[in-house]
Amino acid sequence: MDKPISEIVHLAHMPKVVMNQGAGGEAMQDFLSKHITSHFPKTGCEVSLDSMDDSAIVDDIVFTTDGHTVKPLFFPGGDMGMICAAGTVNDISVMGAKPLALSCAVILEEGLDTDIVDRIMGSFGRTAEGCGVPIVTGDTKVVESGAVDQLFMCTSAVGKRSEHLDHNIEVASQYRNFDSGWCTDDNVRPGDAIIASGYLGDHGVALLSFREGYGFDSEIKSDVAPLNRMIEKILKTGGITAMKDPTRGGMANTLNEWCSKSRVGMEIEYPRIPLREGVVSACDLLGIDPLSIGNEGKVMIACVPDMADEVVRTLRSTPEGRDAAVIGYAKEGAPRVILRTEVGGRRILEAPAGDPVPRIC
């Protein structure tokens, strides 16, 4: 039976989903709270969906999930298989947890070369094995040609409290009150040092340059890497109050999330931010901000200021953290990020509406 005219008119005016709503910035936060999470019952777990942190904590089990739609599947420095293992392991680790096991759901487009499936799964398996986290469960579906673009994957992971988290909290507590049981986004306080674990923007620029054929600088490769071992080491050093992997929306999104969830301000020294010249010049040409594009092998760290040098020293002793630097401090005041530039200027680093580079993870 035909739909009544009134219903057809209504459907025609229905708002449609747009790319920005899945791009990791403010537009996505808004979309999630209106159309996704608003439909789910509230839970009383220790870190719940409402806190929109990297993982949830349910009865001391750390739990996270990711969807992967990166295009193309293979890019300079990595591939979807590596992102699947690294991204999910990192979301568990930044809570102050040890990842225990991964799951993987694969949705394949009919007609895809089985060789591509082998290469992506081989890479996923090797990356997971390399960081010591087994893949223990999964599901595979094939859909008709055109229903997905080659291959989409969803990975989940569970983890448990790191054996070094209590020590880390003890060290931080010598300097200030630590009122979270984990390294959550709401745990940054005025005075905390803000650390970047290495060069920012590599993944977004490598992917965009390769995908669009710009070829800016063939030296720029994705930074995709599991960070669980590096994070264990800095927890052992101690004094860390919050951690987050600056994926979609980059450092700008991570720091703004911390400011609003922790109700602190921040002052960041632009010259101290590790940025490759090639990344800065590529972003200049494209009119995008290197601080708003995604990373896949970096972590932003807040820690008590007295331990900052020690934490940076530990980071620099690891292959993934060798370019780590203190880039600024949390401050009292309005929840916003002030960027101090080379010439002594100050500007507000806004949270991006979304990552300017789509389908990067």
The binding site for Mg ion (CB under 5 A) comprises 54, 91, 245
Q: 194: part of which helix (H) or strand (E)?
A: strand 193-196
Of 159, 298, 186, 164, give the one whose Cα is nearest residue 239: 164
- Residue nearer to Mg ion on the CB measure, 54 or 79: 54
- Residue nearer to Mg ion on the CB measure, 189 or 244: 244
Which sign does the torsion angle of CA 230, 235, 237, 239 carry? Answer: positive
Q: What are phi and psi of 179, to 5 degrees?
A: -105, 20
Nearest approach, Cβ of residue 53 and Mg ion (Å): 8
Nearest approach, Cβ of residue 80 and Mg ion (Å): 17
Nearest approach, Cβ of residue 90 and Mg ion (Å): 7
Cβ-proximal residue to Mg ion, closest one: 54
- Residue nearer to Mg ion on the CB measure, 81 or 250: 250
Nearest approach, Cβ of residue 259 and Mg ion (Å): 17
The answer to whether the beta carbons of residues 289 and 241 sit under 8 Å apart is: no
Q: 154 pairs with which residues across the strands? A: 67, 105
- Return all residues near 254 (Cβ < 8 A) that are at least 6 apart: 244, 245, 246, 300
Burial of 92 (C-beta count, 10 Å sphere; 0-12/13-18/19+): buried
| Spatial separation of the C-alpha atoms in residues 157 and 249, rounded to whole Å | 22
- Residue nearer to Mg ion on the CB measure, 24 or 321: 24
- Residue nearer to Mg ion on the CB measure, 55 or 318: 55
Nearest approach, Cβ of residue 106 and Mg ion (Å): 22
